[in-house]
């Protein structure tokens, strides 16, 4: 019989406020094989851990149950503590009496206390039958894959490369820069966005440790932290970038023009073109959907003009196999589509545009060369309405969250507008002005005072075209009046949403997303850049809306975490995984089908199923599926589980 | 490692709050040696004073203490607490930092942290850690979970230092660790890079004449409310007002106190007050079901992940009343505090007879930050927040190579952003070290 | 001009009654004003629908019951269809109407005898019946 | 196919032209409107007070009695349609209220009736392309502004009639008749509804905005689906003229009147004498009568 110890944490008042910890500790002390039972205000603190260590030493404990918060918080903490006294860490188990007891039964102290005792008794059952286990050591690959070539991805890649790690950076578009490349100037110091960005992009392109793969997407991921096997699809650019010298003759001569997505439809691009005028790398791609050659074989102008013979209509997509030890997901954002905003005209009113379109308009390299001209007739708008929180903070109809950057960029937009059109009037409809970072509030107030921006606190109910104007039905809740503006142009600060395809990508990576499609971090404060899957890290707006400065910090933070991960020689993996009783396994293969991690495999020779230790995450799917109970989970055997259940039903 | 002109791949982190801890752990885990310098006797910083944290309402202690413990036990991290940086010389790869180790009057080598001295110390003085609400001893640790768990004597409260007699601690100490003769010591550390994470302060409530110059005991600041709400605080987590220990039924929270007030106080937004006030109000409602929380605000700023939802839930489910407007004056009327505010949405003046008022006072830099900046040769703004090299693309670097910023020393931030900022600083240090 | 707030006032019986009749949570309103912005009749209202909600929440019972806002509401549901918080504002307006109409002293808002001559012959039945339903106790 | 049909009070009296034209057109299009026997008033407003079950009894009775006759119930009047459809929805979704009301009216109606609007029959059962083929006298050159009002569209989740911000069914109908559809922003704004009784001036203002917007966008005629709207934007034009001296009147027609013209019915059977603004000069000018 093992000598067991029970340690009950008050968690301040989180547990002790509901559960009578003293009486539970006494009750546990009366259990036959429990040699020590006690309580403490914060068991996770140093003195708390000290209590555990001393008890192990003095009472010779052979198994420990800590009754506290969720094991996802402190299982590691306590396993480390018992290990320091020579106990196998897997003989320490957590009885979750906070999330699963005190927090959910705040109104019923007596029942909560009874339940806490039962949870601990059940966990004691588990510990009685736990085996001593050793973590599984695995070799690691020291390269890193960064997905996304926006400011987040570039920052992470550069930090890692500077830290001495090899990086593969893949970007879906033909050039680096992401949405930041579309911006004119950035708040709050109103620096032009492009020079800093291009400098960074060039550094990425040049860096010997970075392998840049533009126009590429991640197709498949296998493996696990430290040992990811990746397949990247490099899309055919139809231009041999090795040969191309970026002279631009092909672009100039291409006869096909269409609305450029980069210019948010306000400007045109050619069927062979750069990602944007100052794009890095400065190499063009051919868009099959618009190129005349692909439509009817009717044109080969670019091929004819190219001095380097770089055009290759026959180029095929390429599949590249890579290995990496860690992955940074920096997939960025998109704006909520205007086409879904019924009350604002479903994106069909030409003079109602979104924030990124206005950025293009303000950009010196944009469709209007930086001039504010309304799209419908090219006139200078004199009455200019900006609407914030469009589809943000709108739980009933659109997105419940705040998009974080709109307040600041709208103030910037209105400021630029006023600078360019001194006799024009900007109106800004807002709900709360959110200028909460360094220098933002000052910028905002100064802009309002100096530029005479009219802020109206209220939403806009409807926008429609009327008599050559865009009529805006809004409100000023501070006077309580309805406000109507016959505007020349309207800019919508539409919500930030995750970029398309993130859900599919997340599924490939086995990372989780929230209901809006933002990638979820493992813990908002403890592990803000780690995903729920080991070895996969998050940077930038793919995780949640944020501005450039915060994005850059977060991206550097991922780089720091990855360097710590990859600085060791071997990775240690939890041994709480499935195993097969080879005598019982009939080799039916159901487990192979059902395993979400591709950790199960048939051993053809022996006719049984085996477990790939490095891949198994211990999810238990195979255990439930196995028709003859040949699979078990280490330290969660059927007999352990049944005994635990017995405790509750007894 | 000494004096051979080689690039020293060892970092110093100044400030042992959550930012400094995060940076230290990252660097330590990446295999670099770290010297962590902390002004107070133990690490943990402001976060140690917090009760629960938004938006998950996780217990702050539970999030933080494993990190402080890990830092304290980390083989690559050297803790230098109760110490301040005196002077710095050199450049990236070769900084020579002199540190003043303040006299603790306790020999930490001998001390086992048993706590007997604190128990027996006869002096009782308002505890700074508990924002003046609880009583502390002249020989103290910041919390029972302190890392390192070693006490110091505050000579300004110690009877022996003041009156020349007592020496109870000396008599009771089983390992003879008390040393009244101890003096400040100067020590030198050579490092290749420095992360400055000295954290923040709050504008003292004494600055607000219109709110009674801090003389109303039931008018407290946000950190004090954290202590009131904390299980390890002076009321063991019960919401009781300081003056008479009664449970307050009408609690007014005032945001932007001293923030966004360019004429009188600070022009900037302190970034965290909207969220922690919402948290305060919700925690208050969890404990005092029949109480009413009023929040005066100017704009609600809930920009982080899950923050907006957190605020809206507070309004919808806890019935917290948000009033858009500032509070002009607060004064005492018998047992009550009369709050004169406004609701700009109805255009009315609002008067509340409150039992307790909580001011979300502006975050300011540490008062020593400007001085430290001068020693380091880096820039600080007019308020004393340390200046980054470039707002957007280089938010953790400074103008001096090898010196980096982390956390609220650079500008107000919440915990998540501070941690990310600190991790970023660590990443820059690693890049610097890898280059050499 | 002045409101003295207490917790009883914030959870005032009147607001509770309006919440009960309308089935809406007034605390869910974050005062964005979208209802007033889109209301086809707000031009004639003494206070906007968003203010009526605010007044009710703050217990300004007599004041809110004294304005024309909810009597002018035509239940066109434009506000309801666009409320970002999913509040059915038209129901709140109707609840305010009900509070008045259900009081003992009748405050009927239309008097048939006061209609101009020939009006009755022209107006469609639905207008009458809805009108009676909305304005008479 | 025949449809159970609920006319409602207004169509029985002051909007007889609406009722009659619809019945006549149905026959030409191959279906019949079978009037529900012994129908009563629907109550004319869907009660918004959650505790006002009494106001649900009339529409509940109508639904229960219709279910005894068939499975589909149609209406013309947008107000009746709104009240009946919402009540039906409530029967489907709120078991508690359903039982209470059933208990009261001594029926056992389960909400299993389909409530459709006449326009929906035209679109879904007849089909607009087929309707177009059957048109005898296309309304070529007639610039018609479709005015939806509120009751067909809102609340959107309950009515499930059309897009709440940009509905299209009415446009499809007018195009099938050969008319030129005039797009105008006020087509989904309220006419003032019963405020024509409570606060006539307010309703006048609403009507003025709607008509002004339609005319500014080039409309020659405004077409409506609702007798209440029609009264407000047609008959109130006399009040508008008194207030806005330069206001020019514009004919307002029920959509079935327009359908009647297109189907070749004799204009004398279309009840134009009940319209306040006489549409005949316009229609004659276009060669449509």
pLDDT at B2 over 70: no
DSSP structure class, residue D231: I
Considering only residues B98 and C115, tell me which one the structure prediction assigns the higher pLDDT: B98
Residue A12's pLDDT band (cuts 50, 70, 90): confident
Tell me the residues of chain C between 20 and 79 that have a Cβ less than 8 Å away from chain D. 20-23, 40-41, 43-44, 68, 71-72, 74-78
Give the pLDDT confidence score for residue A288 in this predicted structure.
93
Between strands B10-14 and B33-37, the pairing is parallel
Looking at CATH, the fold of the domain delimited by D2-118 is given as: Glutathione S-transferase Yfyf (Class Pi); Chain A, domain 2 (1.20.1050)
Residue C106's pLDDT band (cuts 50, 70, 90): low
Rounded to an integer, the average pLDDT of A527-556 is: 94
Query: Would you call C60 an interface residue with chain A, using a CB distance cutoff of 8 Å?
Result: no
The H or E element spanning position A109 is helix A109-129
First-last CA distance in chain A: 22
CA–CA separation, A66 and A44 (whole Å): 10
- Tell me, yes or no, whether C37 and C80 share the same domain: yes
CA–CA separation, A554 and A485 (whole Å): 41
Nearest residue of A to residue B345 by CA position? A478
- Is 0.90 topped by the overall pTM? no
Tokens of A284: 């063009």
Residue A471 C-alpha, separation from nearest chain D C-alpha, in angstroms: 9
Rounded to an integer, the average pLDDT of A503-518 is: 94
| pLDDT tens digits for range D18-33 | 999 999 999 999 999 9
Q: Where are the extended beta strands (E) located within A418-524?
A: 425-430, 454-457, 460-466, 469-476, 481-487, 489-494, 496-498, 521-523
Q: Compute the count of residue pairs across chains A and B with CB atoms less than 8 Å apart.
A: 231
Q: Enumerate the residues of chain B whose CB falls inside 8 A of the CB of residue C31.
A: 324, 345
**CATH code, A4-135:** 3.40.50
Q: Enumerate the residues of chain A whose CB falls inside 8 A of the CB of residue D163.
A: 342
Are C126 and D52 within 8 A, CB to CB? Answer: no
Whether chains D and B touch (3+ CB pairs under 8 A) is answered by: no
Residue A405's pLDDT band (cuts 50, 70, 90): very high
Between strands B77-80 and B83-91, the pairing is unpaired
Are A466 and D185 within 8 A, CB to CB? Answer: yes
CA–CA separation, A428 and A410 (whole Å): 8
Please state the φ and ψ torsions of residue C55, each to the nearest 5 degrees: -60, -45
Query: So where are chain D's domains?
Result: 2-118, 128-285
Test the B interface: residue of A398, A553, A565, A570 with most B CBs within 10 Å: A553
pLDDT at A180 over 60: yes
Rounded to an integer, the average pLDDT of A373-383 is: 96
* Residue that has been written with the tokens 């103008």 in this structure: B399
CATH match of A577-633 with 3.30.70.20: yes
| pLDDT tens digits for range A274-316 | 999 889 999 999 999 999 999 998 899 999 999 999 999 999 9
Query: Would you call A140 an interface residue with chain B, using a CB distance cutoff of 8 Å?
Result: no
Q: How large a percentage of chain B has pLDDT more than 70?
A: 99
Are B321 and C10 within 8 A, CB to CB? Answer: yes
Query: Would you call C132 an interface residue with chain B, using a CB distance cutoff of 8 Å?
Result: no
CA–CA separation, A155 and A560 (whole Å): 11
> What is the spatial order of strands in the sheet that D2-6 belongs to?
D32-35, D2-6, D72-75, D114-117
DSSP structure class, residue A131: P
Are A343 and C31 within 8 A, CB to CB? Answer: no
Are A44 and B56 within 8 A, CB to CB? Answer: no
pLDDT at B144 over 80: no
Rounded to an integer, the average pLDDT of A236-241 is: 96
Q: Which of A82, A101, A99 is nearest to A91 (CA)?
A: A82
Test the A interface: residue of D145, D166, D214, D218 with most A CBs within 10 Å: D166
Nearest residue of C to residue A459 by CA position? C34
Give the pLDDT confidence score for residue B3 in this predicted structure.
47
Least CB-CB distance to B393: which of A14, A74, A200?
Answer: A200
Q: Enumerate the residues of chain D whose CB falls inside 8 A of the CB of residue C129.
A: 9, 41, 43-45
| pLDDT tens digits for range D151-160 | 999 999 999 9
pLDDT at A650 over 90: no
Residue A523's pLDDT band (cuts 50, 70, 90): confident
H/E/C letters for each residue in chain C? CEEEECHHHHCCHHHHHHHHHHCCCHHHCCCCCHHHHHCCCHHHCCCCHHHHHHHHHCCCHHHHHHCCHHHHCCCCCHHHHHCCCCCCHHHHHHHHHHHHHCCCCCCCCCCHHHCCCCHHHHCCHHHHHHHHHHHCC
- Tell me, yes or no, whether C18 and C45 share the same domain: yes
Residue B428 C-alpha, separation from nearest chain C C-alpha, in angstroms: 42
| pLDDT tens digits for range C66-83 | 999 999 999 999 999 989
Residue B4's pLDDT band (cuts 50, 70, 90): low
pLDDT at C113 over 90: no
Test the C interface: residue of D58, D193, D225, D271 with most C CBs within 10 Å: D193
CA–CA separation, A55 and A82 (whole Å): 10
Query: Would you call A457 an interface residue with chain C, using a CB distance cutoff of 8 Å?
Result: yes
Rounded to an integer, the average pLDDT of D173-186 is: 95
Test the A interface: residue of C25, C31, C37 with most A CBs within 10 Å: C37
Least CB-CB distance to D163: which of A342, A464, A467?
Answer: A342
Range of the domain at C123: 109-137
Least CB-CB distance to A459: which of C33, C39, C47?
Answer: C33
The torsion defined by the Cα of A215, A217, A223 and A227, in degrees rounded to 10, comes to: 20
pLDDT at C104 over 90: no
Q: Enumerate the residues of chain C whose CB falls inside 8 A of the CB of residue D166.
A: none
Query: Would you call A479 an interface residue with chain C, using a CB distance cutoff of 8 Å?
Result: no
Least CB-CB distance to C3: which of B316, B348, B353?
Answer: B348
Look at the alpha carbons of D58, D64, D70, D72 in this order and tell me if their dihedral is positive or negative.
positive
Query: Would you call A483 an interface residue with chain C, using a CB distance cutoff of 8 Å?
Result: yes
* Residue that has been written with the tokens 């720091």 in this structure: A560
In a domain, C1, yes or no: no
Q: Is A515 exposed, middle or buried (0-12, 13-18, 19+ CB in 10 A)?
A: exposed
Query: So where are chain A's domains?
Result: 4-135, 144-235+317-332+499-566, 249-305, 336-495, 577-633
Average pLDDT along chain A = 94
Residue B1's pLDDT band (cuts 50, 70, 90): very low
Pick the CATH number of A336-495 from 3.40.50.620, 3.40.50.1860, 3.40.50.300, 3.50.50.60: 3.50.50.60
- B217 close to B243: Cβ distance less than 8 angstroms: yes
Nearest residue of A to residue B273 by CA position? A436
- Tell me, yes or no, whether C48 and C88 share the same domain: yes
Q: Is D144 left (phi over 0), alpha (psi -120 to 50) or beta?
A: beta
In a domain, C2, yes or no: no
Rounded to an integer, the average pLDDT of B283-308 is: 95
Nearest residue of A to residue B411 by CA position? A438
Rounded to an integer, the average pLDDT of A220-229 is: 91
Q: Is D54 exposed, middle or buried (0-12, 13-18, 19+ CB in 10 A)?
A: exposed
Average the pLDDT over each of A546-560, A569-583, B191-205, C83-97 and give the range with the smallest value.
Answer: A569-583
H/E/C letters for each residue in A498-526? ECCCHHHHHHHHCCCECCCCCECEEECCC
CATH superfamily placement of domain A144-235+317-332+499-566? FAD/NAD(P)-binding domain (3.50.50.60)
- Tell me, yes or no, whether C129 and C90 share the same domain: no
Whichever domain contains C47, its CATH number is 1.10.1060.10
Q: Which of A7, A13, A6, A5 is nearest to A98 (CA)?
A: A13
Q: How large a percentage of chain D has pLDDT more than 70?
A: 100
Q: Enumerate the residues of chain A whose CB falls inside 8 A of the CB of residue B419.
A: 525, 528, 557
Nearest residue of A to residue B21 by CA position? A526
- B223 close to B278: Cβ distance less than 8 angstroms: no
- Tell me, yes or no, whether C133 and C81 share the same domain: no
Q: How many domains does chain C have?
A: 2
Are B349 and C3 within 8 A, CB to CB? Answer: yes
- Tell me, yes or no, whether C96 and C137 share the same domain: no
Domains A144-235+317-332+499-566 and A577-633 share a fold: no
pLDDT at B100 over 50: yes
Test the A interface: residue of D162, D168, D183, D185 with most A CBs within 10 Å: D185
Test the A interface: residue of C31, C36, C48 with most A CBs within 10 Å: C36
CA–CA separation, B372 and B85 (whole Å): 8
Q: Compute the count of residue pairs across chains A and D with CB atoms less than 8 Å apart.
A: 15
- Tell me, yes or no, whether C37 and C12 share the same domain: yes
- B387 close to B378: Cβ distance less than 8 angstroms: yes
Residue C46 C-alpha, separation from nearest chain A C-alpha, in angstroms: 9
CA–CA separation, D108 and A609 (whole Å): 60
Are B68 and A74 within 8 A, CB to CB? Answer: no
Nearest residue of A to residue B302 by CA position? A402
**Neighbour subunits, B (≥3 Cβ pairs < 8 A):** A, C
Residue C45 C-alpha, separation from nearest chain A C-alpha, in angstroms: 9
In a domain, C118, yes or no: yes
Give the pLDDT confidence score for residue C137 in this predicted structure.
67
Residue B399 has a CB neighbour count (10 Å cut-off) of: 13
Q: Which domains does chain B have, with CATH numbers?
A: 10-102+184-199+366-435 (3.50.50.60), 116-172 (no CATH), 203-363 (3.50.50.60)
| pLDDT tens digits for range D224-256 | 999 999 999 999 999 999 999 999 999 999 999
Query: Would you call A564 an interface residue with chain B, using a CB distance cutoff of 8 Å?
Result: yes
- Tell me, yes or no, whether C43 and C91 share the same domain: yes
Q: Is A466 exposed, middle or buried (0-12, 13-18, 19+ CB in 10 A)?
A: middle
Residue D166 C-alpha, separation from nearest chain A C-alpha, in angstroms: 7
Are C32 and A459 within 8 A, CB to CB? Answer: yes
**CATH code, D128-285:** 3.40.50.11810
């Amino acid at each position: 019989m093992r000598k067991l110890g029970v340690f009950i944490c008050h968690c301040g008042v989180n547990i002790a406020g509901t559960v009578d910890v003293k009486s539970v500790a006494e009750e546990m002390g009366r259990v036959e094989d429990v040699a020590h039972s006690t309580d403490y205000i914060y068991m996770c603190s140093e003195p708390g851990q000290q209590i555990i260590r001393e008890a192990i030493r003095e009472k010779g404990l052979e198994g420990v149950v800590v009754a506290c918060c969720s094991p996802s918080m402190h299982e590691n903490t306590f396993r480390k503590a018992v290990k320091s006294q020579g106990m196998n860490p897997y003989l320490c188990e957590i009885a979750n009496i906070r999330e699963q007891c005190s927090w959910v039964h705040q109104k019923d102290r007596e029942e909560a206390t009874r339940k806490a005792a039962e949870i601990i008794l059940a966990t004691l059952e588990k510990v009685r039958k736990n085996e001593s286990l050793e973590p599984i050591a695995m070799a690691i690959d020291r390269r890193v894959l960064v997905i996304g070539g926006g400011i987040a991805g570039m920052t992470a890649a550069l930090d890692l490369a500077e830290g001495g790690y090899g990086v593969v950076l893949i970007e879906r578009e033909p050039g680096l820069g992401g949405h930041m490349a579309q911006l004119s100037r950035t708040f709050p110091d109103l620096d032009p966005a492009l020079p800093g960005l291009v400098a960074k992009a060039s550094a990425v392109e040049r860096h010997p440790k970075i392998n840049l793969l533009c126009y590429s997407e991640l197709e498949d991921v296998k493996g696990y932290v430290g040992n990811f096997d990746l397949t990247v699809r490099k899309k055919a650019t139809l231009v041999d970038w090795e040969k191309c010298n970026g002279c631009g003759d092909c672009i100039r001569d291409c006869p096909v023009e269409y609305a450029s997505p980069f210019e948010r439809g306000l400007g045109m691009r050619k069927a062979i073109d750069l990602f944007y005028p100052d794009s890095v790398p400065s190499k063009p791609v051919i868009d099959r959907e618009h190129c005349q050659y692909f439509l009817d074989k009717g044109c080969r102008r670019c091929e004819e003009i190219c001095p380097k013979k770089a055009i290759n209509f026959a180029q095929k997509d390429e599949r590249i196999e890579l290995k990496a030890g860690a992955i940074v997901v920096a997939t960025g954002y998109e704006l909520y589509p205007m086409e879904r905003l019924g009350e604002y005209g479903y994106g069909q009113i030409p003079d109602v545009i979104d924030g990124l379109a206005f950025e293009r308009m303000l950009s010196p390299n944009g469709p209007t060369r930086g001039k504010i001209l309304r799209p419908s007739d090219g006139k200078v708008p004199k009455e200019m309405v900006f609407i914030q929180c469009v589809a943000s903070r709108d739980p009933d109809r659109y997105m419940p969250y705040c998009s974080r950057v709109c307040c600041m960029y709208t103030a910037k937009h209105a400021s630029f507008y006023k600078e360019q059109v001194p006799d024009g009037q900007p109106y800004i409809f807002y709900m709360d002005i959110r200028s909460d970072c360094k220098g933002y509030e000052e910028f905002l107030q100064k802009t309002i005072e100096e530029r005479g921006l009219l802020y109206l606190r209220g939403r806009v109910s409807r926008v429609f075209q009327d008599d050559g104007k865009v009529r805006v039905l809004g409100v000023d809740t501070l006077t309580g009046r309805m406000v109507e503006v016959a505007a020349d142009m309207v800019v919508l600060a539409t919500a930030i949403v995750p970029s398309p395809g993130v859900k599919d990508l997340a599924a490939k990576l086995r990372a989780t997303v929230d209901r809006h499609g933002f990638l979820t971090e493992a813990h908002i404060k403890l592990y803000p850049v780690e995903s729920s899957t080991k070895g996969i890290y998050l940077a930038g707006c793919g995780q949640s809306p944020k501005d450039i400065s915060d994005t850059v910090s977060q991206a550097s933070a991922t780089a720091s975490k990855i360097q710590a991960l990859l600085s060791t020689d071997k990775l240690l993996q939890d041994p709480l995984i499935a195993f097969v009783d080879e005598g019982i396994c009939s080799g039916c293969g159901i487990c192979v089908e059902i395993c979400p991690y591709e950790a199960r495999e048939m051993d053809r020779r022996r006719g049984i199923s085996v477990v790939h230790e490095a891949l198994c995450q211990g999810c238990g799917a195979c255990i439930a599926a196995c028709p003859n109970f040949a699979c078990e989970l280490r330290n969660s055997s059927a007999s352990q589980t049944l005994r635990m259940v017995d405790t509750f039903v007894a | 490692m000494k004096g051979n002109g080689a690039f020293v791949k060892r970092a110093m982190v100044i400030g042992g709050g959550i930012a400094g801890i995060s940076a230290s752990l990252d660097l330590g885990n990446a295999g670099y040696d770290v010297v962590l310098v902390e002004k107070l006797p133990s690490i943990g910083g402001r976060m140690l004073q917090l009760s629960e944290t938004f938006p998950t309402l996780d217990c702050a202690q539970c999030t933080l203490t494993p990190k402080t413990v890990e830092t304290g036990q980390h083989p690559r991290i050297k803790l230098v607490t109760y110490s301040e940086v005196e002077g710095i010389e050199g450049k990236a790869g070769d900084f020579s930092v002199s540190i003043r180790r303040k006299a603790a009057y306790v020999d930490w080598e001998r001390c086992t942290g048993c706590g007997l001295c604190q128990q027996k110390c006869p002096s009782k003085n308002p505890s700074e850690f508990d924002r003046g609400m609880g009583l502390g001893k002249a020989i103290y640790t910041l919390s029972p979970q302190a890392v390192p768990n070693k006490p110091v004597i505050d000579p300004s409260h110690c009877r022996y230092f003041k009156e020349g007699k007592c020496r109870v601690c000396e008599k009771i100490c089983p390992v003879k660790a008390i040393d009244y003769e101890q003096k400040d010591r100067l020590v030198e550390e050579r490092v290749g890079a420095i992360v400055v994470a000295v954290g923040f302060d709050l504008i003292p409530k004494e600055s607000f004449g219109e709110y009674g110059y801090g003389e109303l005991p039931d008018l407290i600041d946000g950190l004090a409310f954290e202590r009131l709400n904390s299980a390890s605080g002076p009321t063991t987590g019960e919401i009781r007002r300081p003056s008479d220990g009664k449970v307050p039924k009408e609690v007014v929270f005032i945001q932007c106190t001293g923030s966004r007030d360019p004429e009188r106080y600070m022009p900037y937004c302190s970034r965290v007050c909207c969220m922690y006030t919402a948290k305060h109000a919700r925690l208050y409602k969890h404990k005092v079901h029949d109480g009413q929380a009023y929040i005066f605000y100017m704009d609600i700023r809930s920009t982080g992940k899950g923050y907006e939802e957190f605020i809206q839930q507070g309004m919808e489910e806890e019935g917290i009343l948000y009033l858009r407007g500032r509070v002009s004056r607060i004064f005492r009327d018998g047992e009550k505090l009369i709050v004169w505010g406004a609701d700009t949405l109805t255009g009315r003046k609002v008067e509340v007879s409150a039992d307790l008022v909580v001011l979300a006072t502006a975050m300011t830099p540490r008062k020593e930050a400007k001085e430290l900046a001068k020693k380091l040769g880096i820039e600080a703004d007019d308020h004393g927040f340390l200046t980054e090299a470039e707002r957007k693309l280089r938010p953790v670097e400074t103008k001096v190579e090898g010196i980096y910023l982390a956390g609220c020393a650079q500008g107000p931030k919440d915990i998540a952003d501070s941690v990310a900022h600190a991790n970023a600083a660590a990443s820059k240090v690693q890049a610097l070290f890898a280059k050499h | 001009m002045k409101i003295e707030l207490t917790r009883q006032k914030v959870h005032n019986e009147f607001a509770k009654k309006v919440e009960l009749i309308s089935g809406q949570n007034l605390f869910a309103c974050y005062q964005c004003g979208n209802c007033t912005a889109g209301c086809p009749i707000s031009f004639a209202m003494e206070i906007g629908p968003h203010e009526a909600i605010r007044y009710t929440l703050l217990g300004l019972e007599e004041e809110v019951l004294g304005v024309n806002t909810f009597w002018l509401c035509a239940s066109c549901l434009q506000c309801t269809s666009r409320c970002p918080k999913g509040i059915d504002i038209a129901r709140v307006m109707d609840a305010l109407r009900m509070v008045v109409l259900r009081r003992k002293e009748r405050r009927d808002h239309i008097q048939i005898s006061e209609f101009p001559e020939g009006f009755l012959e022209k107006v469609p039945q639905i207008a009458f019946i809805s009108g009676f339903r909305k304005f008479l106790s | 196919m025949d449809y159970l049909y609920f006319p409602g009070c207004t169509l029985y009296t002051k909007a007889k032209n609406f009722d009659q034209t619809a019945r006549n057109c149905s026959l030409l299009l191959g279906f019949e409107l079978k009037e529900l026997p012994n129908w009563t008033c629907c109550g004319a407003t869907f009660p918004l007070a959650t505790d006002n079950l009494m106001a649900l009894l009339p529409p509940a009775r109508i639904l229960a009695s219709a279910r005894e006759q068939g499975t589909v119930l149609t209406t013309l009047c947008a107000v009746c349609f709104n009240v009946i459809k919402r009540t039906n929805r409530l029967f489907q979704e709120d078991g508690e209220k359903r039982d209470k009301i059933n208990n009261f009216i001594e029926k056992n109606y389960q909400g299993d009736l389909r409530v459709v609007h006449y326009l929906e029959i035209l679109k879904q059962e007849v089909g607009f392309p087929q309707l177009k083929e059957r048109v005898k006298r296309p309304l070529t050159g007639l610039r018609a502004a479709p005015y939806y009002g509120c009751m067909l569209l809102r609340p959107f989740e309950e009515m499930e009639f059309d897009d709440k911000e940009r509905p299209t069914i009415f446009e499809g109908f007018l195009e099938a008749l050969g008319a030129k559809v005039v797009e105008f922003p006020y087509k989904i704004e309220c006419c003032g509804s019963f405020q024509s009784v409570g606060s006539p001036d307010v309703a006048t203002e609403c009507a003025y905005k709607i008509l002004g917007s339609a005319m500014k966008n080039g409309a020659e005629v405004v077409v409506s689906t609702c007798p209440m709207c029609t009264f407000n934007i047609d008959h109130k034009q006399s009040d508008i003229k008194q207030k806005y001296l330069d206001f020019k009147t514009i004919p307002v027609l029920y959509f079935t009147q327009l359908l009647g013209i297109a189907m070749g019915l004799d204009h004398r059977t279309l009840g134009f004498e009940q319209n306040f603004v006489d549409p005949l000069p316009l229609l004659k000018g276009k060669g449509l009568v």
